[in-house]
Amino acid sequence: MPHPLDNRPILRMNGAGNEILVLDLRGLDHVLAPQEARAIAAAPGLRFDQLMAVHDPRAEGDDAFMRIYNVDGSRSGACGNGTRCVAYALAREGKERLLLATDAGRIETRREAETLFTVDMGEPRLDWREIPLARQADTRAVALDPPVEGAPAHFSAVSMGNPHAVFFVPDARAVALETLGGKLERHPLFPERANISFAQILARDDILLRVWERGTGATQACGSAACATLVAAVRAGLSERRARLRLPGGDLTIDWRTDNHVLMTGPVEFEFEARLTAALFEDAAT
């Protein structure tokens, strides 16, 4: 029985350095299983931060439905950089604006320039139950309890359709991200785990950010974390509603508009196209 993904093209792109694979599954009735996503990540040269599976639209007016996979095969409701890469891929079909749906809601994208795309990530979710957190808390300043050695005592919690914990620190580059990230991602406060951000305020419109991503680890950029960090900084009185977020892989401009929508603008790069093979999935069948 041939594998439905045999000889299927897959695009390798990056959004501000966030390594993204875009897999067009439109016209195919196949939902990528977590083990299939992990098998793709294990293939030479195809490791990714996120894989964006693009499916036929489910509702009138949508351009596509997206499933978002982390490198461990876990799913996410949001991926800002990955969505911008999908917008770039579909722009080749002449679509400069898109309405994309995920499990967490609808996202609009707009092309600003050849390789510059804006994503409207929608409204931030700020109630502890929406993050979600394991107990009631004021999400502007949540006590890290039990404490984690080397981590600040408090963080801000924001969901952009996926869970984020934002720690404000004096020097983001000095943070032991590889040591702290995994411990905090799986802290008992986060029933669905969390993306972990360490943010340094450089100015009221300029923030340095490093991110440990849920289900993936340290990455060069994380779009939804940049959005969550800006929202957290505004709520803490540390930032204007529009700021530059500086990530190791590139800068993102985040704008928390007065209509409560959070917009992210940043670069995308096309890297290469590859072909999947049935052999790639042989072990994944188990």
Ligand X SMILES: N[C@H](CCC[C@H](N)C(=O)O)C(=O)O
Residue tagged active-site, from 222, 225, 263, 276: 222
Q: Is 73 in the site for ligand X (CB under 6 A)?
A: no
**How many secondary structure helices (H) and strands (E) does the chain include?**
4, 17
Q: Is 266 in the site for ligand X (CB under 6 A)?
A: no
**Ranges within 151-180 binding ligand X (CB under 6 A):** 162
Question: How many other β-carbons are positioned within 10 Å of the β-carbon of residue 244?
Answer: 16
Q: Which stretch binds ligand X (CB under 6 A): 74-82, 86-94, 103-111, 239-247?
A: 74-82
Would you call 85 a catalytic residue per the annotation? no
Please identify which residue in 109, 156, 159, 216 interacts with ligand X, judged by CB under 6 A.
216
How far, rounded to the nearest angstrom, does the alpha carbon of residue 192 sit from its chain's CA centroid? 15
Q: Which residue, 80 or 124, has its beta carbon nearer to ligand X?
A: 80
**Cis omega before residue 146 (within 30°)?**
yes
Please identify which residue in 67, 214, 235, 246 interacts with ligand X, judged by CB under 6 A.
214
CA distance 6 to 97: 30
Q: Which residue is it, tokens 């849920």?
A: 214
Please identify which residue in 156, 200, 220, 224 interacts with ligand X, judged by CB under 6 A.
224
- In 3D space, the residue among 92, 179, 190 whose CA is nearest the CA of residue 145 turns out to be 190
Q: Which stretch binds ligand X (CB under 6 A): 32-40, 102-110, 170-178, 222-230?
A: 222-230
CA distance 219 to 78: 16
Size of the site for ligand X (CB under 6 A): 19
Structure tokens that stand for 206 in this block = 């300029």
CB of 247 to ligand X, least distance (A): 10
What lies within 8 Å, CB to CB, of 258 at 6+ separation is: 241
Please identify which residue in 17, 54, 66, 81 interacts with ligand X, judged by CB under 6 A.
81
Q: Is 70 in the site for ligand X (CB under 6 A)?
A: yes
What lies within 8 Å, CB to CB, of 120 at 6+ separation is: 107, 108, 109, 110, 261, 262, 263
- Mask of contacts with ligand X, 11-30, x by CB under 6 A? -------x------------
- The answer to whether 87 and 15 have CB atoms below 8 angstroms apart is no
Q: Is 229 in the site for ligand X (CB under 6 A)?
A: no
C-alpha angle 52-54-58 in degrees, rounded to nearest 5: 130
Q: Is 249 in the site for ligand X (CB under 6 A)?
A: no
**Ranges within 111-150 binding ligand X (CB under 6 A):** none
- The residues that touch ligand X, with contacts defined as CB under 6 A, are 18, 49-50, 70, 76, 78-82, 162, 195, 213-216, 222-224
Catalytic residue ranges: 79, 222
